[in-house]
Structure 1
């Protein structure tokens, strides 16, 4: 079930008025069919048609007592049908193109794209049976006509022998040239196809207005961290002050005599990302001191005038794409139709002293306010994990990015602790083929599509981040992953 590729020759070719243009649903495709090679015919016919389809192929291997067996299953949905709106005769009559090619023939065409599937009869044929193999409702027919026309898409995960999944949505122009033909077995002339041409066209997702600040659907993650080291005390804070053997031993065995600083790491990461956005992706990080009686922060640290500084040493972002498909076979196990593929990873390391590394420092008054607040909870990690599992199945809706911890109120200026927006400072922006950041770009290994669901294909994404933080020359690592919804650009 290969993707359609360009087929053109002097016998027949298709050209668009605007080459390589991408179309929105509802727009009109205009172009021409050309013939340059010699032909003489008293009656010729040229047709042009546009077809769209979404196809899936699953390859998998099963093992039995007789060895392993390879299986292939497929499913497809035709989106446009073969009606006159998408299958037209653009020329009929005599034709003469001289052998020297001094004159070519050109026939213009115009085909309007719908905003949704217009082939409900074929799509819902045997609906009661086929509904099992469709993510979208296909019965009754009114359901189908309200669906959005899916954009051009291609994904392949795995291989022929390694339980591979291949799925795509394609739209193709096909032109055919017929000549009058008389068979020696019949005196009645008939039409004979003597040339054809193929040109795939790209349908892009409908544009979405720029996201408003609340539409980033920030995921709130919080985790308690702590470090034990004598360097929390100003007398040992400088790097050239050597610790004694006894101090190093106490630190090695995490003795309670070694000062400890407890703090919560609060991360606000995007649950929705717009491709090609002019606004940078928000990624806000705060370190919230924990000075309560049960927070294990040592008394000598609580008595400091200012909270210890927390620095971001490194940041890593990983994007994973999850492709789910449905095929018309009850014998395909679930493990063969759901694959997650990591196709992008980006890391950044700050050098000590670089701008953009240090998180805001809480002063004593603000820290005391946080410690003295009654009923304040920055989130429960176990509860966050439970919420993540519950939201794992959420694939639809603008705020579909799930996961993260409780969004309880946070004490601080304007209801939040002072944070640093690393995403804004580094000017992080996702484009379909790259991540743009301040000073460079990182290429994707595959095209980053918006999330979508069509009849037999569903595409979702997961964002994983990992940070290393430094406190008094000690490091801690925090990480989290959650669903993130990529949406189409505005233009």
Structure 2
């Protein structure tokens, strides 16, 4: 079930008035069909049609006592139907083009108006075999199908032929045909014979979405308790420049209570929605919240320091995973082989020592003593209480079947804090790096990272659903010790405004 590709010869070709243009539903496709090769006939017919379809192919392998067996299942939906609005006869009559070298080319103009919604419910119901379980979008009653928006062009392939592969796409194609009058020696009446075909795929872009407002980024909050043990937490020892002795290294290795410890919460605000092509950078805020209460395991000598130890971000890695779900006309196969998630894009950034932008805001002792309750807990706004220390946050399925995330790691409820109440100051690393997602790259200050595939907005059509997961990993440094934190959650990519 290959995608349609351009087919053009001197016998027949299709040209758009604006080459390589992308269209939106409701716009008009205009162009011409061309022929420059030699032909002489008393009766010729030139037709052109526009068709749209969304197709899925699932390959899977089963094993039995007789060995493995490969299976392939396909399903398709015709999006535009076969009505006269998308099939035109643009020429009928005699035609004479001299032999090659004359430079003469026949040209026949055409135009098609794209609908905003699905024009033919019958084609959709036929693709689903009349059963709702074979379709993501509702098809009952049939009248509501005409309100479904026309899906945009896309292509996705996960896995391989033998490894439970999924291939799905939405395409729109112009196809022109040239017929000549033909007389058979077995019949006295002439008939039409197709002698040339031309094909030109056209691209429908996603409908533009107005720029996201700040609150529409839907930030995910993540909190996790971290801590480091090292003699370097004490300024006097760090200033001496001496290397740790074997005994000191041994004490640190076995987490001895004689080694100073600093405990803090890592608070991360990551985006839940990202607009492709946005001029606004993707927000990604990070804060380190000191846990200075007696029950927070922070050593007394660290609690008595004039300034809280500095926490710095030394590495950030972002991974986008695309989840592709498809529907086929087999319930048994749908349960096992039609839901795949793969790593779509990965990017990392490492700060060099001393670079501006890596150190997180520090809550100094003056802020901590400004009337804060020693036993008060830091308020993280809407952050839900997380799990016990050491447990990972779960991804939960929402009502739309998407993997949702947010809270995870350790809650701020454990122990007490000597810091002020309210939301802590955070550093927006995303803004400082200028992170901007485009359909083909991630742009950042000073460069860009290309994607191997096109990053499409989240969408659902009749037999394909595409959603995304954002995974981030950070390495934090405190007194030359490092800790790693990470989380994954659903992220919604939306179409550009233009």
Tell me the distance in 1 between the aligned counterparts of 2:420 and 2:445. Answer: 28
Q: Is 1:145 aligned to 2:150, yes or no?
A: no
| Whole-angstrom CA distance in 1 between matches of 2:10 and 2:266 | 66
SS in 1 for 2:387: helix
In the alignment, is the contact (CA less than 8 A) between 2:377 and 2:412 conserved in 1? no
Match of 2:465 among 458, 461, 474: 458
Which string of whole-angstrom CA distances, capped at 9 and with x for unpartnered residues, describes residues 438-460 of structure 1?
11111112111111100000111
**Counterpart in 1 of 2:387?**
382
| Distance in 2 (alpha carbons) for counterparts of 1:105 and 1:140 | 47
1:234 aligns with 2:225: no
Q: Quote the residue 2:495 is aligned against.
A: 488
Shift of 1:416: 2.2
Q: Distance in 2 between matches of 1:128 and 1:198?
A: 29
Q: 1:371 to 1:224 in 2, by over 3 A?
A: farther
Q: Which residue of 2 aligns with 1:44?
A: 44
Whether 1:82 aligns to 2:101 is no
Alignment of 1:406-485 (within 5 A): 415-485=422-492
Distance 2:46 2:26 in 1: 25
TM norm structure 2: 0.92
Structure 2 counterpart SS, 1:455? coil
Give, in angstroms, the shift of residue 153 of structure 1: 0.7
Q: Does 1:321 align with 2:322?
A: yes
Structure 1 residue 127 displacement after superposition: 6.0
SS in 2 for 1:89: strand
What SS does the corresponding residue of 1:482 show, helix, strand or coil? strand
User: Do the aligned residues in 1 keep the contact of 2:158 with 2:166 (CA within 8 Å)?
Assistant: yes
2:406 is the alignment partner of 1:403? yes
Show the counterpart of 1:176.
177
1:31 and 2:48 equivalent?
no
Q: Flag structure 1 segments of 5+ consecutive residues without an equivalent.
A: none
| Equivalent position SS for 2:456 | coil
The superposition leaves residues 320-357 of structure 1 with CA deviations (integer Å, 9 ceiling, x where unpaired) of 11111111123315231111111211111111111111
Q: 1:370 to 1:242 in 2, by over 3 A?
A: farther
For 2:268 and 2:76, the matched residues in 1 are separated by 42
The whole-number CA distance in structure 2 between the counterparts of 1:112 and 1:449 is 24
Q: 1:213 to 1:168 in 2, by over 3 A?
A: same
Deviation at residue 370 of structure 1 after TM alignment: 6.0
Is the contact made by 1:395 and 1:460 (CA closer than 8 Å) also made in structure 2?
Answer: no
| Distance change >3 Å, CA 210–CA 126, structure 1 → 2 | closer
Q: CA deviation at 1:433?
A: 1.0
Unpaired runs of at least 5, structure 2: none
Q: Is the aligned partner of 1:287 residue 2:292?
A: no
CA distance in 1, matches of 2:412, 2:138: 37
- RMSD over aligned CA atoms reads 2.5
Partner Cα distance (1:90, 1:66) in 2: 57
Q: TM-score with structure 1 length normalisation?
A: 0.94
1:297 deviates by 1.1
> Aligned-pair distance for 1:185?
2.5
Judged with a 3 Å threshold, the aligned counterparts in structure 2 of structure 1 residues 277 and 285 are, in CA distance, closer, same or farther, namely same
> Per-residue deviation at 1:256?
1.3
